[in-house]
Each structure stands twice: as C-alpha cells, then as structure tokens.
Chain A
Amino acid sequence: MRVVAEMALREIVRRRAVLLILLLFPLAFYLSRRGDHLGQSVRFVCLGVGWALSTAALFAGGAARSMEPRLRLSGYRTWHLFGGRLLALWTVGVAIAAPYLLLIRLDQPQVRHGAVALIMALTVAVSAPLGLAISAVLPRELEGTLVLLAIVALQMVMDPAGSASRLLPFWFSREIGTYAIDHTDGGYLNRGVAHGLGFFALLLTVVAVGAAVRLRRRPHLRML
C-alpha cells in the first residue's frame, strides 16, 4: 500500500496547477473575510481548505480509474488501492493545513487554537473521502466539480442553526468554529466533533464499499 500512496502523492505533486489552487484558494477565502467580523476568516479558510482538498481528491480519483483494474490484476487488494490514495491525499491535506494553522495563530490570537486545529484535522479527514466518493458516483470531473461547488456554496449560505444544514459534510466546521471564535460552551464542540466523525466514517464506508464493488473479484472467473 505504501507504493500506491507514494505514486498517488507523486501524481498530485506533479500537477502544478492543482497544487497552486490547493495552496492559494484557502488564502483567498481567508483574506476575503479578514476585514469582517472577527474570526469569520477562520471559518472561511477552513471551508477553503476543505473545498481545495476535496477537489484534489476528485481529480485524483478520476485519474486513478484507468489504472485500478490492472493494478488489481497485478496483485493488489482493493483496500490497498483506495487506502494508499487516501493516505496520499491526507498527507497533502496536512501539508496545506499546517501553514494556515500557523497563519491563524499569528494573525488571530484571540481564537481557541486547539479547536481550530481540530476543525482542520476533521476537514482534512472528511475532504479526501468526500472527493473520492463523488468521483466514484460521477465519473466525469465536470459534474463532480459542480457538486462540490454546490456543497461549499450551500455551506456558506445556509443557516447553521437549521437542521437541514447538518446534512452538509462540513457543518462541523461552522459548529466548532462558533466554539473556537465566539468562546461558547462545550456543546458546540461536542456536536461538531460528533458530526465530523460521523461524516468521516460515512464517507470512508462509501469509498470502501464503492471500491469493493467496482473492483470485485467477479464470480465467473476462477483463478487456480
């Protein structure tokens, strides 16, 4: 699985344009809200990181599709393949999140940094399987990108207090954000963490099951 992860990482790193977007988009999100109400930029940069990594995952999933069947034939198990890819994406996610955490620490001393770090961690954890799951359902990158766009847009627009917004994968980001920025009670933190972990488990399952079905050992073939 290590080899799959390494190669997936190399693939992502070679796509210069994607890397640039990954690194700079969240910055654009951050700066766009910096003048605003305190801490709004923190919320936005977290969403930005989530969107950027999900998009990277979407494209990584699409690129992998042509090689996966033959890798399966070469002897890899299905979980090696999506596991390695997730590992590479999470590595990239951590590499992007770290400088932004630093930026927030330096630029916004009044927020709860531990909580912000938690948001970033959950965002990275959720974004990677989100992108892969969408690419499995919508094999063409254009449709997948539009769906991601819609998710992020809704995330920004919908009132987090309403129950419908909990269906969005990054709802935890705003919930824990409230805890971190407005220094509210621990309830926000707990609800956010539960939501984040829940979506993480859900999306991971979707990716695993999707891969298992797509790359299954077909019953008509007997290898002896």
Chain B
Amino acid sequence: MNQDAWLTALTDELRRHGVDAGVTRHVVAEAASHLSDSGEPADSAFGAPSAYARAVVDSVGRARRPAGEVRLRATDIYKRYGRRPVLSGVELTVRAGQVAAIVGANGSGKSTLLRICAGLVSPDRGTVEVHGALGYCPQDGGTSDFLLPDEHFVLVGAGRGLGRDVARADGRGRAAALDWDAGTARPARQLSGGTRQKLNLVMAELGDPDVMLLDEPYQGFDRGSYVDFWERVWSWRDAGKAIVVVTHLLDRLDRVDLVVEL
C-alpha cells in the first residue's frame, strides 16, 4: 500500500472506531511526519492500518458519544414461576448507542428478562417500551433444521421487507463478519453448534433492527469468533443501536455502558 492510501485507510479506521475527529487528525499527521522522517514504508513502520488503529483506540480510549434517545425501557418487571419469584421489580433503560449487560448466576432470570423484553413471555407485572425495530437472538434453537442458511436469510428478510437477493447478500455479509462462509450449501441440522449460533445471530441482526436483545449468543464460538462478536457489538453501538447482552462471562464488562445484576 502506498503511503497516501495507507494514511487514508488509517483515517477511515479511526473514524469507524468512533475516535474524535481532532485526535484522528493528529494521529494521522504524526504518522505522516514519522514516515517522511524515517523514509520507511508505512506497512513495516506501523503495520496494517486496522491494527494500528486498534492500538491507538486502546491507548486513547473510546470517545464516549453522548447516548441518544431511549430505545428500550422496562419498568417494574415482576415474574414468578409457580411459587418461585424470578424477577422482582427489575428496571432497565437502554438508549441509542448504549450496550447493557445483564449478568447473574444460572437461574437468576436473565433469559426470562430478555424474553419479556422481546415480547415472548408475559410478566406478572410491568411494562416494556420499545422504540424502533426489535431483533432477538436466543441461546440456542431458533433455526430450522432442514433449511439452508441462505433460505433462513430470505425467510427472515421477507418479514422485514427485504427482497431475496438483498436478504441473501446481507446475511452472507454479516456471516462473513463472524468468520463464517454462509454460502456453503448445508442444511442447518448439519452445522456445528457454534455455526448454528452464528446463523442465529445473523438472523437477529438481519434488516438492521434498532434494538438488539442477545442471550449469550456466543455458545460454541471459538475464541476468534468470540472476539469478532464483541467487535460487532461495539460497531453496532457506534452505529447508534441499543444492545442488551445476557452474559455470565465477565471479561468485557469494563467496556459496556450499563450492567444489570440479577
């Protein structure tokens, strides 16, 4: 890559990560003057633009965009199964551009809360308000054993008003972001558990919903895909979505905006 192309790519990458415009300009200018002083090619002095951008972002810290309007508001949620109260007066407000994590031990009602927010289960008391389109990814299930991934995309896409080819292309693109080639023609029952979950996740994000409810969708993901998943979550946040992730893995909590502990 020639120097100008490299610098342009770096600018794009930094912007994509939500780095402040002034900081971006300074970082790129400093890199340019270093390259002219040293005479080295950009790729060997700094590496790939995406890698350098990530290193810069980690050092600078993300520009915390002021959160937008409320996209999900769950108020006073009560739910009991039989005699056992599972949720008592839970409140959750998530704005555009925020990521909320729901944590807690097994059986603490995390999935139930998410299902209530998605409208799949009725609470005993409480209301949920959603502004915009809703996407939901369950922990498992949710796929059709005998259909191909492409057919899943078309099916979900048609519901959201997308044409066949658009839905297929959209689905494959999102699958690629999770390091999965969805074009291979294998019905869902022949996919590995982790891959089937990727299908689940892609179906949830198809059509670009404004609110995303994800119930530990990374079951069966290998380490690389797990990292990719969280990168997707951050990029959705930057794009202004409201995201709720149920998780019992605590390694990413320092980067989410809200934590709800059940």
> What is A's interface to B at a CB cutoff of 8 Å?
3-4, 7, 10-11, 14-15, 63-64, 66-67, 69-71, 73-76, 217-224
Contact A70 B142, beta carbon cutoff 8 Å: yes
Q: Which residue of the partner chain B has the closest CB to A7? A: B155
> What is B's interface to A at a CB cutoff of 8 Å?
116-123, 126-131, 134-136, 138, 141-147, 151, 154-156, 158-161, 187, 203-204, 206-207
From residue A146, how far is it (CB to closest CB) to chain B in Å? Answer: 22
When A14-B187, A66-B141 are in contact, do A75 and B159 touch as well, CB less than 8 Å? yes
From residue A158, how far is it (CB to closest CB) to chain B in Å? Answer: 36
From residue A168, how far is it (CB to closest CB) to chain B in Å? Answer: 31
From residue B93, how far is it (CB to closest CB) to chain A in Å? Answer: 14
From residue A74, how far is it (CB to closest CB) to chain B in Å? Answer: 3
From residue A201, how far is it (CB to closest CB) to chain B in Å? Answer: 28
Task: Please tell me which one of the listed residues A3, A14, A71, A218 contacts residue B122 in the complex, with CB atoms under 8 A apart.
Answer: A218
Docked complex Cα distance between A76 and B158 (Å)? 8
When A3-B154, A4-B155 are in contact, do A73 and B135 touch as well, CB less than 8 Å? yes
Residues of B within 8 A of A15 (CB): 146
From residue A211, how far is it (CB to closest CB) to chain B in Å? Answer: 15
When A3-B158, A222-B128 are in contact, do A73 and B119 touch as well, CB less than 8 Å? yes
A-B contact sample (14 more), CB < 8 A, given A70-B136, A218-B122:
A3-B155, A10-B151, A11-B146, A66-B144, A70-B204, A73-B118, A73-B136, A75-B161, A217-B119, A218-B119, A218-B120, A221-B117, A221-B119, A224-B129
Contact A7 B151, beta carbon cutoff 8 Å: yes
Docked complex Cα distance between A94 and B31 (Å)? 71
Contact B122 A63, beta carbon cutoff 8 Å: no
Residues of B within 8 A of A14 (CB): 146-147, 187
Residues of B within 8 A of A223 (CB): 130, 134
Residues of A within 8 A of B119 (CB): 73, 217-218, 220-221
Contact A63 B145, beta carbon cutoff 8 Å: yes
Residues of A within 8 A of B130 (CB): 221-224
Docked complex Cα distance between A3 and B162 (Å)? 11
Contact B143 A66, beta carbon cutoff 8 Å: yes
From residue A71, how far is it (CB to closest CB) to chain B in Å? Answer: 6
Contact A71 B128, beta carbon cutoff 8 Å: no
Contact A63 B120, beta carbon cutoff 8 Å: no
From residue A95, how far is it (CB to closest CB) to chain B in Å? Answer: 18
Question: 6 closest pairs, A vs B, by CB?
Answer: A74-B159, A3-B158, A221-B119, A75-B159, A14-B146, A66-B141
When A3-B155, A14-B187 are in contact, do A220 and B143 touch as well, CB less than 8 Å? no
Residues of B within 8 A of A74 (CB): 156, 159-160, 206-207
Residues of B within 8 A of A66 (CB): 141-144
Contact A63 B118, beta carbon cutoff 8 Å: no
Task: Please tell me which one of the listed residues B121, B127, B159, B161 contacts residue A71 in the complex, with CB atoms under 8 A apart.
Answer: B159
Contact B156 A71, beta carbon cutoff 8 Å: yes
Contact A69 B120, beta carbon cutoff 8 Å: yes
Docked complex Cα distance between A7 and B159 (Å)? 13
Contact A67 B142, beta carbon cutoff 8 Å: yes
Task: Please tell me which one of the listed residues B117, B156, B187 contacts residue A70 in the complex, with CB atoms under 8 A apart.
Answer: B156
Contact B151 A220, beta carbon cutoff 8 Å: no
Residues of B within 8 A of A217 (CB): 119
Docked complex Cα distance between A64 and B144 (Å)? 7
From residue B168, how far is it (CB to closest CB) to chain A in Å? Answer: 12
Residues of B within 8 A of A219 (CB): 122
From residue B44, how far is it (CB to closest CB) to chain A in Å? Answer: 48
Docked complex Cα distance between A73 and B143 (Å)? 14
Contact B147 A7, beta carbon cutoff 8 Å: yes
